[in-house]
Amino acid sequence: MRIILTLILMIILALAGLFVFINSGFYNVAASKPHTKFTQWILSTAMEKSVKHHAKGIKPPPPSDDSIIQSGFDHYNEMCVGCHGKPGLSVSELDNGFNPEPPDLIEEMKEGEWSAEELFWITKNGIKMSAMPAFGHNHSEEEIWTIVAFLEQLPKISPEEYKAMEDAAEGKRRKHNHEHGQEHEHNH
């Protein structure tokens, strides 16, 4: 009986201590201050295990063709490069000051760190307490699968090839704007 009471008292004291600590403002939330090794371990382990658990049961679509990869490139180039870089522009060159720092997806894809289902889940749902947004918020599942298809090609794409894809996309956009502009002129 005594032991149980002592244990309960200790738990109450520990919770009270935690409450005081949280309210004291002593914890430094500055992104510029790196996490301790222990916090780092908690966060990265929880993230990895959570993604692997939640991505179970997701069914990838059939293998993608060139038009799907092209569409994935358009999304990646518009929405991911600013944080994750691209062939010829590494995350460390971007130097955004995020904590955790967005990983270099070219390296991650080379290492085969994530399956297609896991990449889909991360892109759709984002990652709490990090800068990684949930793109499922305003993108369809089809669109997200195109991004996954592009990510799978990423390690094979040289900086020159990526640049060529960017130029082609820019050319298409200009052509579109031009046509759209002309349409406008007709209408008015």
Residues in contact with ligand HEC by the rule CB under 6 A:
47, 75, 79-80, 82-84, 98, 100, 102-103, 108, 113-114, 119, 122-123, 127, 130-133, 135, 147
For the bound state, the minimum distance from the C-beta of residue 15 to ligand HEC, rounded and expressed in Å, comes to 27
C-alpha angle with apex 84: 80 to 88, nearest 5 degrees? 105
Phi-psi region of 25 (alpha: psi -120 to 50; beta: other; left: phi over 0): left
For the bound state, the minimum distance from the C-beta of residue 153 to ligand HEC, rounded and expressed in Å, comes to 13
| Exposed / middle / buried, residue 61 (Cβ in 10 Å: 0-12, 13-18, 19+) | middle
Alpha-carbon distance of 38 to 66, in angstroms, equals 44
Task: Choose between 17 and 34: whose C-beta lies nearer to ligand HEC.
Answer: 34
Task: Choose between 88 and 100: whose C-beta lies nearer to ligand HEC.
Answer: 100
For the bound state, the minimum distance from the C-beta of residue 27 to ligand HEC, rounded and expressed in Å, comes to 19
Task: Choose between 64 and 123: whose C-beta lies nearer to ligand HEC.
Answer: 123
For the bound state, the minimum distance from the C-beta of residue 131 to ligand HEC, rounded and expressed in Å, comes to 4
Alpha-carbon distance of 134 to 125, in angstroms, equals 4
Tell me the torsion sign for CA atoms 37, 39, 45, 51: negative
Task: Choose between 56 and 180: whose C-beta lies nearer to ligand HEC.
Answer: 56
Q: CA nearest 55: which of 4, 127, 110, 5?
A: 127
For the bound state, the minimum distance from the C-beta of residue 19 to ligand HEC, rounded and expressed in Å, comes to 27
Task: Choose between 68 and 147: whose C-beta lies nearer to ligand HEC.
Answer: 147
Task: Choose between 78 and 179: whose C-beta lies nearer to ligand HEC.
Answer: 78
Alpha-carbon distance of 117 to 142, in angstroms, equals 13
Alpha-carbon distance of 151 to 22, in angstroms, equals 40
For the bound state, the minimum distance from the C-beta of residue 137 to ligand HEC, rounded and expressed in Å, comes to 11
Q: CA nearest 76: which of 176, 151, 158?
A: 151
